[in-house]
Structure 1
Amino acid sequence: MLNLVLFGPPGAGKGTQSAKLIEKYDLHHISTGDMFRAHIKDQTELGKQVSQIIADGNLVPDSITIAMIEEEISNNPAVKGFIFDGFPRTVAQAEALDKFMESKNMPISGVIALDVNEQELTQRIAKRQEISGRADDAADKLKRRIEEYFGKTVHVLPYYEAKGNLTKVNGIGDIQAIFGELSSIIDRY
């Protein structure tokens, strides 16, 4: 089973590359952002609980996020693997994910971090906001999300680096070339 964590700040291209990787490797996509947006749209209890948190640009508490991820994994026992997009965002989430996946005998195969500088991120998300109108892409919320990533989330990388399963990839450039580099890394798993 192939289980990947695709890591990077908001606007790094995780969603774009995830779509390509899902198609090539037949993986089940787990995006906490997409899951939260779906819950909010459907006005579920979880959606009501996290709506304001996300709208303010803050991270949803680990306990809620981890429970949602575990449920999604358990609901998809027959897949060839998972690609985690935007999760984990804290060391506690990374530890919980590793523990849960190992308990299911499905350890994380590898972690790939897309490196993109802040200037490029700001340009990409401004363009995405024009197209999609996503509330979490508004300038004030974007700034908070990028600060959250570089202030907190980036600290998950040393956790995976210490485990020996982190690879960094330049996330700036031709989308297909980046995909080719990601594929060559994944093929080694």
Structure 2
Amino acid sequence: MTAAQSARLLIVGPQGSGKGTQGIRIADAFGIPAISTGDMFRAAISNGTELGQKVTEIIHAGNLVPDELTSAVVRERLEQDDAAAGFLLDGYPRNLGQVAALDEILGARGEELDAVIELVVPRDESIERLSLRAAEQGRTDDTEQVIANRLAIYERETAPILDVYRERGIVDEIDGVGSLDEITDRVIGALERRGLIRTAAV
């Protein structure tokens, strides 16, 4: 596969959509880092940065990391050398405030997102996958109701984000049901049609 000079991607999908796995596969195909919110927080904490120390205090207090701090951690992560030729974001932005913050971060660099990959998975399929995963991992607290609530939060917070990116014409809706290779091929095909990949072979 021959990729473009750089690619700045975002992958979005409900819990159980497989976006973490697909994100890594696509990022590897481009030779760019797959960056999840969790990864960013762990890196900031392990590097002992000032931001990392703040995140540690918030998490230890049992609180959610506020948007402003999350965006600061993203800014810090994207300034690292391995993200110079592009990146794939997973889990950020997750609300409209974070979309605006990412626009500001990228705008200051003269950049913008090239594509947003939306993995589309029916709600029943997501619940089934998450329930199976919870059973395999022995997570008794992940009841069907808890899982349904998480999906409702995703639907409530993420829909407006996708609407913004659809207006910009950069969203590719990908059927998230099938084998790992089938789904990866669909994503690669969509990115190829955008001219981000000149010759696709996965």
Equivalent residue for 2:142, pick from 138, 152, 163: 138
Q: Which runs of 5+ in 2 are unaligned?
A: 1-5, 197-202
| Identical residues among aligned pairs (%) | 30
Equivalent residue for 1:176, pick from 171, 181, 192: 181
Q: Which moved more, 1:15-24 or 1:71-80?
A: 71-80
Structure 1 counterpart of 2:191, one-letter code: I
Computed over aligned residues only, the root mean square deviation of the Cα atoms, in angstroms, reads: 2.7
Aligned to 1:57: none
Aligned to 2:58: 49
Structure 1 counterpart of 2:55, one-letter code: L
- Could you tell me how far 1:107 is from its partner in structure 2? 1.5
Structure 2 counterpart of 1:89, one-letter code: R
Higher helix proportion, which one? 1
Query: d(CA) in 1 for partners of 2:88 and 2:122?
Result: 23
> TM-score of the superposition, structure 1-length normalised?
0.83
8 Å contact 1:39–1:47 — kept in the other structure?
no
- Could you tell me how far 1:61 is from its partner in structure 2? 2.5
Structure whose CA Rg is larger: 2
Q: Which moved more, 1:60-69 or 1:109-118?
A: 60-69
Equivalent residue for 1:165, pick from 163, 167, 170: 170
Aligned to 2:78: 73
Aligned to 2:21: 16
| Corresponding residue SS for 2:16 | coil
State how many pairs are aligned. 183
> TM-score of the superposition, structure 2-length normalised?
0.78
Q: Which runs of 5+ in 1 are unaligned?
A: 55-59
- Could you tell me how far 1:17 is from its partner in structure 2? 0.3
TM-superposition CA deviations, 1:98-143 (whole Å, max 9, x none):
22112112321111111112111112122333445679x8336533
